[in-house]
Amino acid sequence: MNVNTAFAFLAVFSFSTTASQFIPEQAPKSLTNIAIDSQDLCEVAKNTLTYMENYPDDDFAVHRGEVPMTVSMKSVTRTLQFLCQVAKEDKKNAESRLTNADFIKTHFDFYRWLPDKITANDWAKKSNNKVKTRLLSEIPADKLFITKYYVKMLDGSDEKNGTYQQALYALPHDEKELSPVQAKQRAGQLTRFKYTRQDVIGGALDKNKLAEPLIWLTEAGLHDVLLQGTGVLNVNGSKRYFNVHRNNGIAYDYTIGKTEQARYWYFAEVPGIMGYGTDIDNKIPILPQVTFAGNVKQLGLGKLFLTSYQVGGKQESKIGVLADQGGAFDGNLFQLDLLSGAYYGWKDYYQANKHLPDYAETWLIVLKPQFVK
């Protein structure tokens, strides 16, 4: 379906299996004060486009999405290209049209995202975490659950010692030279699939020298970085980045806490914060405040989302690219996760983000056909 045809037959799409809806709407009146860095937004858009162009056969992520059915891959690509075209012109002219609400309203079509409350309520009932149960069960019918994830800043050591007893491990030695496809074919024989998180914490890898420790940190730090996916470590005064590489094949369990999870990730050292990718060498470089993690499998990589919410009595909005994912989003069409920044822990993360609400009006936004060059 081409772009013109897609927008000529706008309709409400309802999915009985998820109860999630994307509804074409006029530009929202609440859209004001877009709090983003347009150059950062362009950078993430460009990096995501590069991945989509280089890996068109990644049918997990590079597709128009199961929802909504009216948005073509070509329209997603053109939307991201337009962001960078505008950002490039604005940098030259010392302006920022992507933070101008009237400009966004004029140039984009809006699809209001209504959450899948059926799944959210089901997961709420199964959760043993009271806060999580409350947050899931209280998702409004007309707003999305907007969480904030962050890059974990940690102190670490090159060597194991009394303070730093747990390692981030590289891929086990029996898998180092294997591609993801080759590893999948040999899954039953590989070290990676043999151990739970609790096994690794108990010393299974170190005891038998099955994998190389990249860096050493505390057990609390390990759980945090396994949850966040990226760690920024201060080691002897130097800042080093570590990103999840491949996991042990055990699914993330949304109903239990982080220390109880059996899922375990092996890591690799990287040059910066990385988002989605099929392997460590092709992950998308991402930036805070303009990147969303979400259900890439059902939504499709590269979708552009706008959120709008009240802060201190004033309306504020964010625009970000879907360029990351996580195990918590499998089957999840009620939530997006904004990359908020880098923090040492909950206290400084909370201090920086406590003013932000848990729920927000959310739209998929797509460049209008008449502005395609």
Same-domain check for residues 331 and 306? yes
Asked if the structure places residue 303 within a domain, the reply is yes
Q: pTM of the prediction?
A: 0.82
Asked if the structure places residue 48 within a domain, the reply is yes
Q: Give the CATH number for residue 292.
A: 2.40.40
Pairing of strands 108-114, 21-25: antiparallel
Our count of domains for the chain comes to 2
Q: What is the torsional sign of CA 224, 41, 52, 146?
A: positive
Look at residues 318, 229, 320 and name the one whose alpha carbon lies nearest to residue 47: 320
pLDDT in tens, 150-192: 888 999 999 999 999 999 999 999 999 999 999 999 998 999 9
Asked if the structure places residue 365 within a domain, the reply is yes
269, 156 contact by CB (below 8 A) = no
| Residues in Cβ contact with 188 at an 8 Å cutoff, skipping those fewer than 6 apart | none
317, 306 contact by CB (below 8 A) = yes
Asked if the structure places residue 1 within a domain, the reply is no
> What parts of the chain have a pLDDT lower than 70?
1-19, 68-69
Pairing of strands 13-14, 144-155: unpaired
Q: Give the CATH number for residue 201.
A: 2.40.240.50
What's the pLDDT score for residue 174? 96
Same-domain check for residues 302 and 258? no
Residue 63 is part of which domain span?
A: 20-151+284-311+325-338+352-371
Same-domain check for residues 251 and 292? no
Asked if the structure places residue 127 within a domain, the reply is yes
What single-letter DSSP state applies at residue 285?
A: B
Same-domain check for residues 137 and 147? yes
| Residues in Cβ contact with 102 at an 8 Å cutoff, skipping those fewer than 6 apart | none
Structure tokens at 239: 């800042």
Strand pairing partners for 342?
151
Strand pairing partners for 238?
235
Same-domain check for residues 163 and 133? no
What's the pLDDT score for residue 312? 86
Asked if the structure places residue 265 within a domain, the reply is yes
Structure tokens at 61: 């992520």
Same-domain check for residues 36 and 49? yes
39, 91 contact by CB (below 8 A) = yes
Same-domain check for residues 189 and 307? no
What single-letter DSSP state applies at residue 159?
A: S
Same-domain check for residues 85 and 44? yes
Using DSSP, state whether 120 is helix, strand or coil: helix
Which conformational region is residue 313 in: left (phi greater than 0), alpha (psi within -120 to 50 degrees), or beta? Answer: left
| Residues in Cβ contact with 259 at an 8 Å cutoff, skipping those fewer than 6 apart | 223
Same-domain check for residues 157 and 255? yes
Asked if the structure places residue 345 within a domain, the reply is no
Look at residues 300, 327, 332 and name the one whose alpha carbon lies nearest to residue 145: 332
Same-domain check for residues 334 and 261? no
What's the pLDDT score for residue 14? 35
Same-domain check for residues 157 and 254? yes
Asked if the structure places residue 320 within a domain, the reply is no
AA identity, residue 308: S
Same-domain check for residues 33 and 106? yes
Q: CA 288 from chain center: how many Å? A: 11
